[in-house]
């Protein structure tokens, strides 16, 4: 049976983080995942999750200078020092909060620097994975579609997986976001089969709208059934942008929570 986590980067996004955590628990979620929670003390998040019986999954590394269009630093030539400083802050927040994974964001890389960017990404992820392994924390690599994030270092599962393989670290896994796969390349069911041994987390949202996973061109009842059939035991992150209020959009979840 599929298990769903609430991605609080998108759900109840207008509320302070601790209130979002309460909302997720009240809605019946048993796990949460975050984007950039650094403004909230890690100890407060850990206490809230313990009180509400929630599992805290992943967080993202820092974006960098968003005013300059940065969206992650790990694959940016010349920014290694900044990435590593930021990652140490992320790892500390992660360990203090009880989170179990970190999405290392590669960043937007000019076409003429892609080869250097990939080498930089591999070097940085190896370093990060070794630090994270000391705390039993997983490093996640997510291919982000080119429509939403033009020039992101990688947009396809095969590209992310090649970097994962090059890192040669057991705690480096793929974040398989069905939405991004649907926009970038399609063939979702076959790609789930192909990359399942290397998937550390799955996320979902409607294609192409990124709203609740009950509209658009992807039949999520089929996708979820396939994920179950493949034997995936991890969480599936509800990382979508609600059409209106979060609670009124949760009808999509009911068929998967009946016993």
Q: Which helix (H) or strand (E) element contains residue 236?
A: strand 235-238
Structure tokens at 38: 């650094």
Q: Which domain holds residue 201?
A: 3-257
Domain harbouring 27, CATH code: 3.20.20.150
End-to-end alpha-carbon separation of the chain, Å? 9
Total-model pTM? 0.97
Distance CA 137, CA 100 (A): 5
Q: Are 239 and 57 in contact (CB under 8 A)?
A: no
The per-residue pLDDT for range 94-106, each reduced to its tens digit, is: 999 999 999 999 9
**In total, how many domains does the chain have?**
1
Between the CA of residue 104 and those of 6, 8, 132, what are the distances in Å?
20, 18, 11
185 noted as active-site residue: no
Which of the following is catalytic: 134, 142, 193, 215? 142
Instruction: Give the E-state strand segments of 84-211 in sequence order.
Output: 101-103, 138-142, 172-177, 199-204
239 noted as active-site residue: yes
Give the per-residue pLDDT at 1. 80
Half-sphere exposure of 105 (CA within 13 A, CB side): 23
Which of the following is catalytic: 193, 239, 248, 251? 239
Instruction: Give the E-state strand segments of 20-169 in sequence order.
Output: 31-33, 55-56, 58-60, 101-103, 138-142
Per-residue model confidence as pLDDT tens for the chain (259 residues): 899 999 999 999 999 999 999 999 999 999 999 999 999 999 999 999 999 999 999 999 999 999 999 999 999 999 999 999 999 999 999 999 999 999 999 999 999 999 999 999 999 999 999 999 999 999 999 999 999 999 999 999 999 999 999 999 999 999 999 999 999 999 999 999 999 999 999 999 999 999 999 999 999 999 999 999 999 999 999 999 999 999 999 999 998 875 4
């Amino acid at each position: 049976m599929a298990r769903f986590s609430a991605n609080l980067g998108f759900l109840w996004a207008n509320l302070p983080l601790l209130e979002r955590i309460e909302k997720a628990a009240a809605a019946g979620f048993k796990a949460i995942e975050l984007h950039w929670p650094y403004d909230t003390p890690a100890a407060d998040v850990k206490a809230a999750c313990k009180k509400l019986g929630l599992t805290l999954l992943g967080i993202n590394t820092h974006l960098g200078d968003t005013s300059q269009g940065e969206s992650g630093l790990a694959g940016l030539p010349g920014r290694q020092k900044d990435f590593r400083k930021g990652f140490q802050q992320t790892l500390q927040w992660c360990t203090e909060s009880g989170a179990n994974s970190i999405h290392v964001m590669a960043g937007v890389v000019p076409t003429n620097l892609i080869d250097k960017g990939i080498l930089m990404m591999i070097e940085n992820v190896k370093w990060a994975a070794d630090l994270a392994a000391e705390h039993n924390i997983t490093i996640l690599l997510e291919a982000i579609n080119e429509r939403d994030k033009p020039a992101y270092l990688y947009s396809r599962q095969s590209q992310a997986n090649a970097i994962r393989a090059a890192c040669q670290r057991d705690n480096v896994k793929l974040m398989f976001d069905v939405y991004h796969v649907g926009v970038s390349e399609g063939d979702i069911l076959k790609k789930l089969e192909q990359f399942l041994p290397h998937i550390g987390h799955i996320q979902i949202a409607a294609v192409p709208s990124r709203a609740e996973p009950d509209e658009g061109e992807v039949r999520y009842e089929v996708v979820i059934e396939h994920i179950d059939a493949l034997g995936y035991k991890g969480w599936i992150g509800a990382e979508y942008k609600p059409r209106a209020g979060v609670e009124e959009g949760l009808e999509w979840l009911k068929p998967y929570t009946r016993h």
